[in-house]
Amino acid sequence: MVQRAICVVGAVLCVLGALETAGAELTAECRVYVGGVNDGYNEDCFGVYEYVDDPTRPYYMLADPDKLTTEDKFLYEDENLQYWVIGPVVGPTNGYWFSPRVSSNPAESTQWHVNTGTGFILQPRVKATAACPTPAPTAEPTTTYKPTYTKMPTIEDDSEEEETDLGIITLILTPIILCCGFWSGFWGFRLTCAKMGGDASVAPVKTVEFNHGIFQPPRFFCVELDLNEKLGWTTTPFPMRVTGVDEGSQAATGGVKPGWTVCSVNGQGINDLNMFNHFVEQVKASGETKCRFHLDTATAPPDAPPGPDK
């Protein structure tokens, strides 16, 4: 009975000790399929991508046995490890598709945006799916050794003694197991917080920065404005070039300058006033009152004063 109780305690401690698991990683044998329902832009990038173990930078290449396209397509991490990108060459952040990078596994990135020719728009039903082969079973042993002699135990009627011993052992081990479980969980939590550089007494809060996508500063100026108030600028309808900024308005306070061109609403590319109004109405319908706008500063006249970087 004592040996049985020791085995039970050992099993419980083993379960409490298994507190960490490894993250998902792809191997050279894995393939990645990219596809899904979309708005019809750059669909020739969909298909199965084969892993290429390049010594300087591993990447995936579109397998195209039917030669539906004459141009190679590559799935790769950008140089700053911020995005997964599909493009004609490995390296640049601009391409046909991109999604914010979650890990070295592209299947964990779910916010895929497509290049429409005038900007990038989110395609929420397009996914990247990893397909890895099942490991082969291990070989069966050729020889099984059997004991030549087994001593049969004597049979005694000790059921009452076993029940008594089990009850005593249960009373002793129950508080020990509960204490071990509490301290294992407590120290596991402290270690996890220590790895994240936080305080064990307070859960760390991760700050999520706004994703500028392809509209990266300093060329593209980003300003956040309140949709419940007058924006404070006047623009041409196509393209939306700023022709005037009202003095004292939130656009003026935010640093908007005449000559700049409005090119995105919350990171979604636009090229005219109709698209601008459409995306602004979407933001309002979601219940948000604040919205970020990107403006291309490269369209300003040479004598225009520069604005602050954001």
The CATH code of the domain that includes 264 is: 2.30.42.10
**Share above pLDDT 90 across residues of the chain, in percent, rounded to a whole number:** 35
Q: Which residue from 195, 214, 198, 206 is spatially nearest to 82, judged by alpha carbons? A: 214
- Tell me which of 131, 163, 196 is where a domain ends: 131
- Tell me which of 115, 131, 147 is where a domain ends: 131
Query: In the numeric block, which tokens belong to residue 206?
Result: 């991760």
pLDDT, position 30: 79
State mean pLDDT over 220-236.
Answer: 95
Give yes or no for residue 154 having a pLDDT over 60. Answer: no
Domain count, the chain: 2
Residue 289 counted as domain residue = yes
pLDDT, position 212: 81
Residue 111 counted as domain residue = yes
Residue 176 counted as domain residue = no
Residue 103 counted as domain residue = yes
pLDDT for 102-153, tens place per residue? 998 999 999 999 999 888 999 999 999 887 665 545 445 455 545 555 555 5
Residue 47 counted as domain residue = yes
2-17 helix and 159-195 helix, angle to the nearest 10 degrees: 20
pLDDT, position 18: 37
Residue 177 counted as domain residue = no
Which pTM value belongs to this model? 0.38
- Tell me which of 113, 131, 149 is where a domain ends: 131
pLDDT for 237-280, tens place per residue? 988 999 999 999 999 999 999 999 999 999 888 989 999 999 99
pLDDT for 53-102, tens place per residue? 888 888 999 887 665 566 888 989 988 888 999 988 887 776 899 999 99
pLDDT, position 19: 34
Residue 199 counted as domain residue = no
Residue 210 counted as domain residue = no
Structural domain boundaries, residue 239:
220-299
Band (pLDDT 50/70/90 cuts) for residue 2 is: very low
